[in-house]
Amino acid sequence: MSEKSMLSSKLLFYTITVSTLLFIVSSLFFLQRSDSSFTSSLVRKLILPRTDIKNEKTDAKPVSCGVLKVFMYDLPSEFHFGLLNWHKKGSETWPSVKNVSTVPSYPGGLNRQHSVEYWLTLDLLASETPEVKRPCSAMRVKSSKEADIVFVPFFSSLSYNRKSKLSGNETTSVDRLLQERLVEFLKSRDEWKRFGGKDHLIVAHHPNSLLYARNSLGSAMFVLSDFGRYPSSIANLEKDVIAPYVHVVKTVSNNESAPFEKRPVLAHFQGAIYRKDGGTIRQELYNLLKDEKDIHFAFGTVRGNGTKQTGKGMASSKFCLNIAGDTPSSNRLFDSIVSHCVPVIISDQIELPFEDTLDYSGFSVFVHSSEAVKKGFLVSLLRGVTEDQWKKKWERLKEVVRYFEYRFPSQSGDSVDMIWSAVSHKLASLQFHVHRKNRYRRSEVFDRSLST
């Protein structure tokens, strides 16, 4: 190579090197001046090392977790844990959840079946407690402006169960007074006024809970057991979430679950037989099935040893009848699921939890009410199910049980985790309507610029 050619090559190399250095320096200067622009983002990707690539050799954890960002009001304790006889100390608003053994417990029996708000509240408190290990489905944030949803921690079902009856010289129940105070509080908040309450989440799982406030707060997203006692203008599938009852019978482990041949009872029902509204079908079915030798259809309560007997009966039955009562749903469905007893759902108006994720036909049998009351129809249908067909549903039941367990701390795929996921799904529709409403909404800055 000639001396002239070598000189030209060196000059080209130096020129490229210097140009590259100048580009890097100028880019870094530009990043400091405008960190949020599209150009800034592009330059960062070009010249800075990637920090989002996981190093497979380390167990480094993300700085923060949580798909759903939740702002929770610090309501006075009489709206939540005070109903569980928890007494705050000093300036405390919430009990400590660092130690599971010190967390206020929820009352048992039928009270427990509607305890959804209790579990969600505990989970949010745990999200800001590093000592508690839980899924990253939701996390509490301190500013409502950061939040995807605003959670109202009112234990409405417990308030109804414990405080709805008049005591002594009371002229208005404590439950009603709490609801009135809640409405007044929410309506005064900027968080509520921002979207008219549409981004608020309120749990009212007991059918009679929030009875006096539901119309005033109907724009919020509700977590309910069903829509049986709500007009469609207040509660509907478009905006609200259906959550499972907390089962009251003991969960049967997979190892102890009786197979087809060890379940001598064809179908099981134990509970209130004489009901009003859509529940009159229970009496009709009782008259049709009471004399069938392999069907257990009897009155029962949770009193005494009732819950234990019900669990034992379900665990020894092939099918469990879930029949509409005063409302379309009951905890019987979830008791049958954790007993690995194939549910037979006879409730035309029922809405089911997590049905956007779960196909209930894989582990249940659905029967229209009009067909169920035909003489001989239900018995023929169930006796016609082969062992292989039943076994497929039984095996699927054992897989889905985890979705119907409420736990603290919560676990991936349990009821708490699934509820947060369902709320996230509903938010997409909410954001769509909010964005449409904002099409012609002028900002304050824009309006002031027009007036000057």
pLDDT at 250: 95
Q: What is the DSSP string of 180-198?
A: HHHHHHHHH-HHHHHHTTT
**Bridge partner list, 69:** 139
Q: Is the omega angle on the peptide bond into residue 409 within 30 degrees of 0, that is, cis?
A: yes
Domains of the chain, by residue range, sit at: 68-164+174-242, 260-404
Euclidean distance between CA atoms 259 and 294, whole angstroms: 17
Say if residue 18's pLDDT is above 90: no
Q: What is the DSSP string of 287-347?
A: HHHTT-TTEEEEE--STTTHHHHHHHHHHTEEEEEEE--SSS--THHHHHHHTTPEEEEE-
CA–chain centroid gap for 420, Å, is 5
Burial of 427 (0-12, 13-18, 19+ CB in 10 A): middle
pLDDT at 24: 55
Say if residue 144's pLDDT is above 70: yes
Nearest CA to 154 among 71, 77, 216? 77
pLDDT at 109: 81
Architecture of the domain defined by 260-404: 3-Layer(aba) Sandwich (3.40)
Euclidean distance between CA atoms 305 and 284, whole angstroms: 27
Taking phi over 0 as left and psi of -120 to 50 as alpha, with beta for the rest, 103 belongs to beta
Q: How far is CA 335 from CA 130, 260, 444, in A?
A: 33, 18, 54
Read off the pLDDT of residues 257-305 as tens digits, 9 standing for 90 and up: 999 999 999 999 998 887 666 568 999 999 999 999 999 999 876 666 7
Query: 419: helix, coil or strand?
Result: helix
On whether the CB atoms of residues 154 and 183 are closer than 8 A, the answer is no
| Average pLDDT in the chain | 85
Query: 19: helix, coil or strand?
Result: helix
Say if residue 331's pLDDT is above 90: yes
Euclidean distance between CA atoms 86 and 220, whole angstroms: 28
DSSP element (H, E) containing 156:
helix 156-163
Read off the pLDDT of residues 23-44 as tens digits, 9 standing for 90 and up: 555 554 444 444 443 333 333 3
| Residues 6 or more apart in contact with residue 398 via CB below 8 angstroms | 254, 257, 340
pLDDT at 280: 85
pLDDT at 451: 53
Query: 151: helix, coil or strand?
Result: strand
Euclidean distance between CA atoms 268 and 14, whole angstroms: 87
Nearest CA to 149 among 234, 238, 72? 72
Q: Which amino acid is at 241?
A: V
